[in-house]
């Protein structure tokens, strides 16, 4: 740009660093708090510098849990969250890619009604039909199970739409070519379409993994056993409004641990994630 | 748009759509239908008998002042969250769009809060602004503010808005940055040659060109404030003190699952569904229009 020199540039740097500071401050506080003694924090005398209890706190958080409220090792909660997030990401991609394939590459009766049935699900998050969904999962005896955690969240159309749009851009010649090579529909799907969709699948996986890992209301409802709890539910159960009972260093360590996998995924897969996000949402 | 090259098969396509169709029918349509049916039923407190009561649940809901308060509150929260988060994100995106050294680093440092879960956001902020042990509460008290969001409803609402807006900054930032980068530099250069200073250039050229992005983000932010704030509210205030932070989604949860008032909860769900369908409809119309620009 024309007069983008000197002073203005410093202002831009300055504003960006303020933004980063605002964004990072709560996490800094969480990390610091997780290394200090609970008594100090409970007195409202938390220092802004790290304390000496880092290893102790994290060991207790991951392998033992709080001594009061839930007593469930956070390591176990993380495992539950991981299984749930992976099931949602893999499950949604798997069922969406084959249904998008059917809708794009076949003509069959009820094709459009089926497409619309799937498409409409895009509009309603699980929160608005929460109680009846809970009842159905209970009737199907899927409370406290990984299937119960994942399946209702797989029921939405975002991924189907994305794959449909992508398949429409795949040149028809590819299909003609594999047909000449004698490939049937399944072969074409497996040998040609799937490899072409690799980056789309990866971007979608990143977004769905974060979505799954961060679920809260649904797991809160359908898990009653402590050992089936996800980390997002566990952390809320650890905080009580009466201060004395809350073991803040452990809560903060849990918050840090709950952030690690999704933030890691976003930062490492930044390019894929940004592209996937802009493509799915727009 | 239709593909020219297609396969002929009678059964295969059905087999391919079957898994998704099954999941959608069982876990989406069945519960949605149940919600609609339930909203016309009245169940006694012990669940022993149910009777069909037409629109009584809805009528009762609209006669209830608390429900109107929840609606107003939800819209107020949405507006406050969207406005604060959008304006701050836009400022950051405009700065990050300049040719600066280290702009990739800035971008990385700003986008990660997208990945933080709402309950974790809630826990972080309630800890910082807890009346007795919060690090920031000390400074607020030093400023002479009697800070206690656990007792003061307005302060609790402020806390929710700050936390929810904080989480949404990164998302808005990403889309603003993408929007800014798609504005042709030649247009801005032409304005500069005509003698428009940076501020004027921003308001007369950049901002209007960015308006589709702003509108899109506004709708997304409202939907976010409606639903994704549940985790933040539940960890920070649980709808309280009183009902000062109870939004529509939180009310569905607390009336239906904690209060056992299923008919009313279902009627509220149905109203919410209609609201989301309208919002999504707006979004789609807009996206479609944008494609044909």
Closest alpha carbon to B14 in A67, A113, A214, A91: A113
If you measure CA to CA, which chain B residue comes closest to A278?
B175
Quote the pLDDT of residue B271.
87
Which of B16, B32, B166 is best to mutate for the A interface (most A CBs within 10 A)? B16
Instruction: Report pLDDT for A65.
Output: 76
Model confidence pLDDT, tens digit, residues B83-131: 999 999 999 999 888 888 888 888 888 888 888 999 999 989 988 888 8
Which helix or strand (DSSP H or E) is residue B43 part of?
A: strand B41-43
- Looking at this predicted complex, what is its ipTM? 0.86
Closest Cα partner for A56 from A28, A29, A36? A36
Nearest to B64 by CA among B231, B271, B241, B277: B271
Give the one of A98, A102, A281 whose C-beta lies nearest to B220's C-beta.
A281
pLDDT at B277: 79
Q: What's the maximum distance between 2 C-alpha atoms anywhere in chain A?
A: 77
pLDDT digits (tens, 9 = 90+) for A115-131: 888 877 776 677 777 78
For residues A83 and B229, give the distance between their C-alpha atoms in angstroms, rounded to a whole number: 24
- The confidence score (pLDDT) of residue A142 equals 85
Interface residue B258 vs chain A (CB under 8 A): no
- At A82-100, the pLDDT tens digits run 999 999 999 999 999 999 9
Residues of chain A with confidence (pLDDT) below 70: 1-5, 68-70, 123-124, 241-244, 278-282
pLDDT for the residue numbered A80 = 92
* Interchain CB distance below 8 Å, A129 and B188: no
**End-to-end CA gap in chain B:** 18
Predicted TM-score of the model (pTM):
0.86
The pLDDT of residue A123: 65
pLDDT, tens only, B23-67: 889 888 888 888 888 888 776 656 666 777 777 788 888 888 888
- Among B6, B31, B189, the residue with its CB nearest the CB of A136 is B31
**What is the tens place of the pLDDT at every residue in A246-274?**
888 888 888 999 999 999 888 888 887 77
Contact present, B257 and A221 (Cβ < 8 Å) = yes
Residue B40 has a pLDDT of: 85
Distance CA A80, CA A255 (A): 16
DSSP B245: T
For tokens 């159905």, the residue is: A136
| Chain A residues lying within 8 Å of B1, measured CB to CB | 168
Q: Which residue in chain A is spatially nearest to B255 when comparing CA positions?
A: A131
Q: What is the pLDDT of residue B291?
A: 39
Q: Do B98 and A193 contact (CB within 8 A), yes or no? A: no
Instruction: Search chain B and give the residue with CA nearest A255.
Output: B120
Question: Residue B57: exposed, middle, or buried by beta-carbon count in 10 A (0-12, 13-18, 19+)?
Answer: buried
pLDDT per residue over B183-210, tens digit each? 888 888 888 888 778 888 888 888 888 8
A99-103, A223-227, B226-230, B240-244: segment of lowest average pLDDT: B240-244
- Residue B169: pLDDT over 90: yes
Residue A88: the pLDDT is: 93
To the nearest whole Å, the CA of A225 is away from the closest chain B CA by 18
Chains A, B: CB contacts under 8 A, how many?
A: 306
Query: Is-contact B59 A153, C-beta < 8 A?
Result: no
Residue with tokens 């919600």: B35
> What are the tens digits of pLDDT across the range B118-152?
999 998 998 888 887 888 888 888 887 777 877 88
Q: Is B174 exposed, middle or buried (0-12, 13-18, 19+ CB in 10 A)?
A: buried
pLDDT band at B293 (very low <50, low <70, confident <90, very high): very low
Residue B176 has pLDDT above 70, yes or no: yes
Q: What is the DSSP string of B51-89?
A: EE-TTHHHHHHHH-HHHHHHHHHHHHHHHHHHHHHHHHH
Please give the pLDDT value at position A99: 92
Closest C-alpha among B260, B265, B272, B239 to residue B44? B260
CB contact under 8 A, A129 and B269: yes
Q: Which residues on chain A are in Cβ contact (under 8 Å) with B115?
A: 210, 214, 259, 262-263, 265-266
Q: What is the pLDDT of residue B90?
A: 94
Pick A263's closest partner by Cβ from B4, B30, B115. B115
Q: What is the pLDDT of residue B81?
A: 94
Q: Is A136 helix (H, G, I), strand (E, B) or coil?
A: helix
């Amino acid at each position: 740009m024309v007069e983008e020199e000197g002073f203005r540039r410093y202002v831009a740097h300055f504003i960006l660093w303020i933004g980063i500071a605002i964004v990072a401050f709560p996490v800094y506080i969480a990390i610091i708090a997780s290394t200090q003694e609970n008594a100090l924090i409970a007195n409202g005398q938390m220092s802004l510098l790290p304390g000496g209890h880092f290893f102790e706190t994290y060991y207790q958080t991951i392998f033992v849990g709080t001594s009061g409220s839930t007593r469930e090792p956070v390591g176990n909660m993380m495992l539950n969250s991981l299984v749930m997030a992976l099931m949602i990401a893999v499950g949604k991609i798997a069922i969406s890619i084959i249904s998008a394939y059917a809708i794009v590459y076949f003509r069959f009766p009820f094709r459009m009604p089926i497409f619309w049935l799937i498409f409409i699900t895009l509009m309603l998050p699980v929160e608005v039909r929460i109680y009846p969904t809970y009842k159905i999962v209970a009737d199907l005896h899927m409370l406290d199970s990984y299937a119960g955690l994942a399946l209702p969240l797989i029921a939405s159309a975002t991924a189907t739409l994305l794959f449909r749009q992508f398949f429409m851009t795949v040149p028809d010649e590819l299909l003609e070519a594999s047909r000449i090579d004698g490939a049937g529909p399944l072969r074409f799907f497996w040998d040609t379409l799937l490899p072409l969709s690799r980056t789309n699948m990866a971007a979608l996986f990143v977004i769905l993994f974060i979505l799954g890992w961060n679920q809260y209301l649904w797991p809160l409802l359908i898990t009653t056993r402590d050992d089936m709890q996800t980390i997002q539910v566990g952390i809320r159960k650890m905080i009580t409004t009466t201060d004395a009972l809350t073991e803040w260093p452990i809560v903060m360590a849990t918050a840090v641990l709950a952030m690690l996998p999704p933030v890691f995924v976003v930062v490492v897969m930044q390019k894929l994630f940004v592209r996937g996000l802009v493509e799915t949402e727009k | 748009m239709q593909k020219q090259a297609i396969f002929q098969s009678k059964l295969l396509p059905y087999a391919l759509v079957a898994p998704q169709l099954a999941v959608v029918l069982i876990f989406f349509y069945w519960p949605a239908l149940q919600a609609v049916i339930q909203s016309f039923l009245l169940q006694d407190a012990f669940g022993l008998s149910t009777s069909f009561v037409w629109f009584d649940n809805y009528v009762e809901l609209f006669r209830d002042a608390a429900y109107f308060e929840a609606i107003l509150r939800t819209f107020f929260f949405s507006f406050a969250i969207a406005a604060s988060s959008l304006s701050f994100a836009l400022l950051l995106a405009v700065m990050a769009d300049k040719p600066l050294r280290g702009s990739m680093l800035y971008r990385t440092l700003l986008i990660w809060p997208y990945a933080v879960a709402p309950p974790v956001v809630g826990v972080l902020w309630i800890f910082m602004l807890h009346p007795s042990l919060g690090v920031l509460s000390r400074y607020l008290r030093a400023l002479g503010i009697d800070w206690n969001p656990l007792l003061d409803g307005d302060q609790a609402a402020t806390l929710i808005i700050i936390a929810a807006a904080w989480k949404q900054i990164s998302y808005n930032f990403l889309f603003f940055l993408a929007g800014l980068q798609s504005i042709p530099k030649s247009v801005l250069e032409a304005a500069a040659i005509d003698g428009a200073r940076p501020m004027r250039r921003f308001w007369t050229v950049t901002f209007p060109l960015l308006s589709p992005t702003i509108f899109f983000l506004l709708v997304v932010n409202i939907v976010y404030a409606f639903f994704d704030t549940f985790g933040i509210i539940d960890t920070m205030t649980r709808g309280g003190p009183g009902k000062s932070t109870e939004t529509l989604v939180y009310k569905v949860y607390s009336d239906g699952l904690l209060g056992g008032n299923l008919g009313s909860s279902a009627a509220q769900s149905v109203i919410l569904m209609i609201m989301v369908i309208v919002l999504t409809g707006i979004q789609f119309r807009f996206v479609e229009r944008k494609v044909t620009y």
